[in-house]
């Protein structure tokens, strides 16, 4: 079969159940064939149509000729001393993304990417310094979960319950939670992100609870409202500053959607969310956003937004011009939030030795937008502020 013939085949990995059913109907097959196909791909992690034994022979032959499951290609696979695992995945044209698996005693969390590079360019995040290449397809996003399950050697053997205490088949799965916190801004690649989320939640797909899938955003307000209506899952907001002047510098998207609009969007989202709180992520930057004044402003900012805080010790990288807050300052900041009645945790740094910690994912993305020069100017501006 020629390369052009292969490229013309329908890619199935990113199709939701409704899409698979529609395709089967188009080929004259019963709708339940679409569900069978989804289970083979996303619950048994099978990409060989010939191995899908309960599909009719004629249907399998048609799939071989007209469809494909485009499995992600791994460039490198790194394991940390703490058990964290990071995969560098080829997405073509010299671009790569990174996916990280973080094992813990009670869960296994997979951090997936939604874009090759990132256009938001938060000042403390190394991904943004690499520029933006392109959005990922839904298949490339959900393919990271497919790949992790395959490489980790666990298969989903039974439908999970929907509790937050633990899935019925957690003993047979390594990935129990998915967070959209890898490379890119998920809500700036909305359609592909939404399809990937729906596949992850589908009982014929990965069967994850809405409480176990978290989308993180730097504050794309209109898309937050859409997600609340289309498929509300747990929401994390990258906050990082308590006033617009500072957040404009740290998170440039704030200039378009300032804090007042972001907080209002968070309150609207809670009416639909599977959890009764928003998680705010706050990277701790020495002398930038960690003062007592910052703490007081932060408490006032979120006073009417039910929330939890995740304080993130900054992970230094070249060209950032920033330093991590001291350990005692981070503890004092967390204590101040807790004393104000806000549940606060300090994220434990994982995967430092393989550059897999928060804000470190960079992949192999060409800087197409001279972001390094612009970031250097921002660093000087922050020092002078």
DSSP letter string, 289-355: T-SHHHHHHHHHHTTTS-EEEEEEE----TT----BPPHHHHHHHHHHHHHTT-EEEEPPP--GGGT
Pair 200, 206: CB distance under 8 Å? yes
Looking at residue 370, its pLDDT comes to 43
Residue in the structure block whose two tokens are 């393919």: 143
- Domain boundary assignment for the chain: 3-68, 73-384
SS3 of residue 376 by DSSP: helix
Q: So what CATH class is 3-68?
A: mainly alpha
Pair of tokens at residue 13: 């990995």
Q: Do domains 3-68 and 73-384 have the same CATH topology?
A: no
Pair 155, 45: CB distance under 8 Å? yes
Beta strands in 80-222 (DSSP E): 85-90, 96-103, 108-111, 115-117, 132-135, 177-180, 213-217
Looking at residue 121, its pLDDT comes to 86
Q: Which strand ranges, in their side-by-side order, compose the sheet holding 234-238?
A: 73-79, 85-90, 96-103, 108-111, 177-180, 213-217, 234-238, 278-284, 307-313, 343-346
Looking at residue 350, its pLDDT comes to 56
Looking at residue 320, its pLDDT comes to 80
| CATH fold for the domain made of 73-384 | TIM Barrel (3.20.20)
Q: Indicate the Cα dihedral angle 190, 194, 196, 202, nearest 10°.
A: 180
Pair 99, 109: CB distance under 8 Å? no
- Rg for the chain (alpha carbons), in Å? 21
Pairing of strands 115-117, 307-313: unpaired
Backbone angles phi, psi at 105, to 5 degrees: -60, -40
Looking at residue 168, its pLDDT comes to 40
Instruction: Measure Cα distances from 153 to 93, 146, 147, 173, 377 in Å.
Output: 30, 11, 10, 9, 46
Taking the C-alpha atoms of residue 34 and residue 30, their distance in angstroms, rounded to an integer, is 8
Q: Is 170 exposed, middle or buried (0-12, 13-18, 19+ CB in 10 A)?
A: middle
Q: How many CB atoms lie within 10 A of CB 165?
A: 7
Taking the C-alpha atoms of residue 288 and residue 213, their distance in angstroms, rounded to an integer, is 31
Q: Which residues are catalytic?
A: 98, 358
Pair 109, 173: CB distance under 8 Å? no
Looking at residue 172, its pLDDT comes to 55
pLDDT digits (tens), the chain, 385 positions: 455 445 689 999 999 999 999 999 999 999 999 999 999 999 999 999 999 999 999 999 999 999 999 988 999 999 888 889 999 999 998 899 999 999 998 899 999 999 999 989 888 888 777 788 999 999 999 999 999 999 998 555 444 444 444 444 444 568 999 999 999 999 999 999 999 999 999 999 999 999 999 999 999 999 999 999 999 999 999 999 999 999 999 999 999 999 999 999 999 999 999 999 999 999 999 999 999 999 999 999 999 999 999 999 998 887 788 999 999 999 999 999 999 999 999 987 755 554 545 445 555 444 444 444 444 444 444 444 4
Closest CA to 89 of 71, 66, 64: 71
SS3 of residue 254 by DSSP: helix
């Amino acid at each position: 079969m020629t390369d052009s013939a292969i490229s013309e085949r329908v890619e199935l990995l990113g199709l939701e159940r409704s899409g698979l059913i529609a395709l089967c109907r188009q080929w004259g097959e019963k709708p339940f064939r679409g569900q069978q196909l989804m289970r083979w791909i996303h619950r048994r992690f099978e990409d060989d149509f010939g191995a899908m034994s309960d599909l009719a022979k004629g249907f399998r032959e048609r799939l071989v000729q007209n469809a494909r499951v485009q499995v992600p290609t791994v460039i490198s696979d790194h394991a940390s001393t703490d058990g964290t695992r990071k995969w560098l995945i080829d997405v073509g044209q010299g671009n790569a993304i990174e996916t990280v698996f973080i094992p813990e005693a009670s869960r296994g969390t997979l951090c997936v990417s939604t874009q090759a590079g990132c256009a938001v360019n938060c000042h403390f995040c190394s991904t943004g310094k690499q520029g933006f290449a392109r959005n990922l397809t839904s298949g490339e996003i959900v393919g990271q979960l497919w790949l992790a399950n395959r490489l980790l050697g666990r298969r989903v053997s039974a439908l999970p319950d929907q509790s937050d205490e633990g899935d019925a088949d957690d003993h047979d799965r390594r990935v129990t939670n998915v967070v959209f916190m890898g490379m890119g801004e998920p809500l700036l690649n909305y359609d592909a992100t939404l399809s990937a989320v729906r596949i992850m939640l589908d009982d014929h797909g990965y069967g994850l609870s809405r409480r176990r899938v978290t989308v993180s955003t730097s504050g794309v307000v209109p898309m937050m409202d859409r997600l609340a209506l289309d498929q509300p899952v747990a929401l994390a907001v990258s906050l990082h500053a308590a006033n617009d002047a500072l957040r404009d510098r740290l998170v440039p998207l704030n200039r378009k959607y300032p804090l007042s609009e972001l907080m209002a969007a968070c309150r609207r989202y809670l009416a639909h969310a599977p959890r009764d709180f928003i998680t705010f992520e706050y990277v701790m930057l020495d002398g930038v956003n960690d003062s007592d004044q910052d703490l007081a402003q932060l408490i006032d900012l979120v006073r009417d937004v039910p929330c939890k805080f995740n304080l993130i010790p900054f992970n230094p990288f070249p060209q950032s011009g920033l330093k991590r807050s001291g350990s005692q300052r981070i503890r004092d900041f967390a204590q101040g939030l807790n004393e104000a009645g806000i549940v606060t945790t300090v994220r434990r740094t994982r995967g430092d030795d393989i550059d897999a910690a928060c804000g470190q994912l960079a992949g192999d993305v060409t800087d197409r937008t001279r972001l390094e020069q612009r970031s250097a100017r921002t660093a000087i501006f922050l020092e002078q502020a």
